[in-house]
Amino acid sequence: MLFINNKKGFTLIEVLTSMLLLVLLTISLYAVVVSSNIWISKAGKSTRAITLANSIIEDIKANSYNIPVGVYNRIMIYESIGKNGLGLSTNYSDEKWGNYDISITINEASMANTSANNLLEVIVKVSWEEDSINYEEKLISIIARR
C-alpha cells in the first residue's frame, strides 16, 4: 500500500539549521559594524587634526610679514594671539577643536640654487592620545614673508 504524506512545512532540523545560519550572519555583520565605527571615529579625529593644522598654516600665511623663526607649543600659540608673535587671530581652544597637542616649527627655508631669503618652512604637528596610543598628523608648507 502506498502512503501519501500530505504534511507541509519544514522539519525541526531545517528550522534549527536556518536559525543557526541567521545567527552566524548576524554576528559577522555586527563585528563588521563595530570595527567600522572604530575606524570611522579614528578617521574623524585624524581629519579634525589635519583641519586644525591647515587652519593654523593659513592663519600664519595671512600674517606672514613678521613671523619669528622658532618652535612653538600650544601655550605659546595662545599667548601670541592678537600680538605680533605668530599673528594668529583665532583661538584654537579645546572647546572647538578637541584635546589636541599642537607644535609649530618655523625655519628659514633653504632652497638649493635660490637667492630668495624670505621663504619660511612651517611645520605644524597635531598629536593626540587615544586608548594609550599616540597619533600624530603633520603638515608642512613653504610660505613667503610679505
- Predicted TM-score of the model (pTM): 0.70
CA gap 59, 76 in Å, rounded: 15
Cα torsion angle, 86, 73, 50, 100, sign? negative
- Looking at the chain, list the stretches that DSSP marks H as alpha helix, in order from N- to C-terminal side: 12-62, 74-80, 94-97
What is the average pLDDT across 22-35?
94
pLDDT tens digits, one per residue of 87-117: 565 666 666 677 788 888 888 887 666 656 7
β-pairing verdict for 101-108 and 133-144: unpaired
CA gap 19, 27 in Å, rounded: 12
State the cell numbers at 139: 603638515
| DSSP H/E element including 139 | strand 133-144
State the cell numbers at 113: 640654487
Give the contacts of 9 (CB within 8 A, at least 6 positions apart).
none
pLDDT tens digits, one per residue of 33-71: 999 999 998 999 999 999 989 988 888 888 777 777 777
